[in-house]
Amino acid sequence: MTVAAPAMTSRGPERSRRRIKIPNERLFYAVLGFVGLLVVWEFASNFDLDPSTPGVQGLVKRILMSAPTLIWKAGVEDFSSGAIWPHITISLQEWFYGFIISCFLGISLGLSLGWFRRFRLATQPLVSALYSTPTIALFPLIVLIAGIGLESKVILVVLASIFAVIINTMVGVQSVSWKHLEIASSFGASQTQIVRSVVLPTTIPFILTGVRLAAGRSLVGVVVAEFQAANQGVGFYIALNGQTLNTARVFIGLVLLGGFGIFVGELVRLVENRFDAWRPSIHR
């Protein structure tokens, strides 16, 4: 009787399958995913089950889903006629004021909450309650107090975004290492020197995370405020065109908001990278 020897199989790290090497795989698939969905969308909206009623019996109803080409056409129209610019300007204004106020107020509040233990303890219940509240629920109240002008929208934007800054800054201050404080005091650093050489360098990355989050939440604030009480602004533009079944223009608004969100996010990320030179390999 012969004992069957176990078959030797090759086991490289790449088991099986040979592939075509794609130089920049990441980009390739990203473009594929992006363009692919647009093409499917376009095709689906043009594929009419009943050709006599175009856009009604399709795989997707064109009136509800629009189509990339329709959106493009409407976009060109609104930008060349200039009809959309007032909306963009007013939204930018609301966003900017709210965001800047949130950053300044949030950072200073966060620093003091992190640094002064008693202050933090005394305000803790209130801060965490407000942090858990969907602050945009306060908008009707804000309208009662501040009317429906720019002020009430800026206040809502601040409320929507400030807690991201406060909490992150506070956590940053609290994560200052005891050892680093000890070193500073060993070399006779003064209070200001301690803040400059230890507290701020530790806290800045946290602050920037807060700022990045706040940029996005400010945008949420802008949209909600404009949905509720406005006659101008990108949020209003979206809501109005939604109600009038002008779907392509709803998508234009969404593209504007998403594009702006990405732009601001990347901007803050650039700043973050600049402050992160001292950190090993956290560059994303």
Partner 1 sequence: MTAGTQMVAVTSNAERQRSRMPRWYRRREASILSFSGLAAFVIIWQLAADLKGLDFTFFFASPSGIIEAAGKEVQLPRFWDDVATSAWELLAGSGVALGLGVPIGLAIGWYRRVGFMFDPWLNFFNALPRIALLPLLVLWLGLGTEMKIAAVSLGAFFSIVVPTAQGVKTVDRNLLDVGRSMDASQGRIFTSIVLPATVPYIISGIRIAIGRGLIGVVVAEFYAQTKGIGVIIVKSQQALNSDRMLFGIILFTISGILLSYATSLLERRFQKWRPGQDMEE
Partner 2 sequence: MTSAPATQDLALSARGVRMEYLDRGTRERFVAIESLDLDIKQGEFVTIVGPSGCGKSTFVKLVNGLLSASQGEILVRSVAKGKSDAMVFQDSALFPWYKIIDNVSYGLVCAGVSKKQAHERAMPLIKLVGLGGFENKYPYQLSGGMQQRANLARALCVDPAILLMDEPFAALDAQTREVMQAELLRIWRGAEAEGGARKTVLFITHQIEEAVFLSDRVVVMSARPGRIMEDIRIDLPRPRDLHVKRTPEFQEYQEQIWQLIASQLKAAASQFGGSKE
Question: Both tokens of residue 51?
Answer: 């050709």
Question: Both tokens of residue 29?
Answer: 């698939």
175 interacts with partner 2 by CB under 8 A = no
Cβ closest to partner 2, residue 93 vs residue 202: 202
- Among 184, 208, 257, 268, indicate the residue that binds partner 2 (CB under 8 A): 184
E-strand spans in the chain?
none
Q: List Cβ neighbours of 47 (8 Å cut-off, separation of 6 or more).
A: 58, 59
Specify whether the CB–CB gap between 67 and 78 falls below 8 A.
no
Spatial CA neighbour of 195 closest among 167, 165, 172: 172
* Rounded-to-integer distance, Cα 212 and Cα 233, Å: 22
183 interacts with partner 2 by CB under 8 A = yes
Neighbours of 161 (CB within 10 A): 30
- Among 30, 39, 56, 271, indicate the residue that binds partner 1 (CB under 8 A): 30
**Residue 66 corresponds to which amino acid?**
S
**Burial (0-12, 13-18, 19+ Cβ within 10 Å), 136:** buried
Cβ closest to partner 1, residue 52 vs residue 158: 158
152 Rama class: left (phi>0) / alpha (psi -120 to 50) / beta: alpha
161 interacts with partner 1 by CB under 8 A = no
Q: Which stretch binds partner 2 (CB under 8 A): 46-54, 155-163, 180-188, 221-229?
A: 180-188
Specify whether the CB–CB gap between 271 and 208 falls below 8 A.
yes
278 interacts with partner 2 by CB under 8 A = yes
192 interacts with partner 2 by CB under 8 A = no
187 interacts with partner 2 by CB under 8 A = yes
How many residues bind partner 2 (CB under 8 A)? The answer is 20
Residue corresponding to tokens 């709210």: 98
Cβ closest to partner 1, residue 1 vs residue 7: 7
Sign of CA dihedral 48, 53, 57, 60: positive
- Among 62, 176, 253, 272, indicate the residue that binds partner 1 (CB under 8 A): 253
Q: 3-state class of 149 per DSSP?
A: coil
The entry of partner 2, partner 1, none that residue 134 binds, CB within 5 to 8 Å by partner kind? partner 1
275 interacts with partner 1 by CB under 8 A = no
- Among 238, 248, 252, 268, indicate the residue that binds partner 1 (CB under 8 A): 238
Question: Both tokens of residue 61?
Answer: 């109803």
Applying CB under 8 A, which residues contact partner 2?
A: 179-180, 182-190, 193, 197-198, 201-202, 277-280
Applying CB under 8 A, which residues contact partner 1?
A: 25-26, 28-30, 32-34, 36-37, 64, 118, 121-126, 128-130, 132-134, 136-141, 143-145, 164, 182, 185, 188, 209, 213, 216, 219-220, 222-224, 227-228, 235, 238-239, 241-243, 245, 247, 250, 253-254, 257-262, 265
